[in-house]
Amino acid sequence: MVPGGAPPSLEQIELLHETRLVVIALIAVLSVLICLLTLGLQHSAEETARAALAEARMSEIIENFTDTLFSFTPDGVIYKYDKAHLFSLAEENIYFTKGKEIVTIPYLGWNIRPYICYDIRFPVFNRNRINNNSFDYDVLVYVSNWPTKRYNHWKHLLIARAIENQTYVIGVNRVGTDGNGFEYMGGTMCIDPVGNVILEGTQDENVYFVKTNYDNLVKIRQKLPFSKDWDDFDIK
């Protein structure tokens, strides 16, 4: 945070970059989790492990900074998502440019929707929809710097997003202490479409393996067809 609205110094910008480096490391965990979504699709582990490598970092575009997540597929397709909800409590809205595009990543039969940290607090923005009789996405992925003191929010927001959107949810969170003294206890999670916690990670650096099932997702949506009653709306 830069107090008083003063322009950031070079040292402060470098600190922001260093903070994001931790997120880059966590993306390795995200990559594994996304890849493991495909285990039930009869692809070899070697092929799966090459897919969906993503990196979240600050990206300088012209004269603006964005908080950006990149995803790469084995065939060379690159997807980019810029964080849409800037964390005004830390003055991100002053020094970053708000993202305007929603991104969906199609991969081996799954539609994956990536978001970044604070985005999770806005249920309308996160809302799944039905287009051409199909759900917009099957997996929500959040890459986060979520502090220990609000860990309870993190867990329950992940569960809520899974239930209300009838989707798998993966939340990848950092660990350790940042340059401002804020502590992070990890808690990387995978939630199923009815809100069951499949995985809840520890506060240590780790790599987790989870197995999800697309057929099970379809059965849940058919057995509990709540989507028929979802509200139609526009985000402006």
> How distant, in Å, are the alpha carbons of 51, 71, 79, 117 from that of 75?
9, 12, 12, 28
- Domains along the sequence of the chain with CATH: 10-225 (3.60.110.10)
> How distant, in Å, are the alpha carbons of 111, 137, 160, 217 from that of 134?
11, 9, 21, 13
What's the alpha-carbon Rg for the chain, to the nearest Å? 18
> Could you read off the pLDDT of 3-54 as tens digits, one per residue?
344 445 445 544 454 444 444 434 444 444 444 443 333 344 444 444 443 4
> Could you read off the pLDDT of 22-35 as tens digits, one per residue?
444 344 444 444 44
The stretch 41-68 carries a mean pLDDT of: 54
> What pLDDT does residue 234 have?
81
> Could you read off the pLDDT of 139-159 as tens digits, one per residue?
999 999 999 999 999 999 999
> What pLDDT does residue 59 have?
58
This model's pTM is above 0.95: no
Percent of the chain with pLDDT over 70: 73
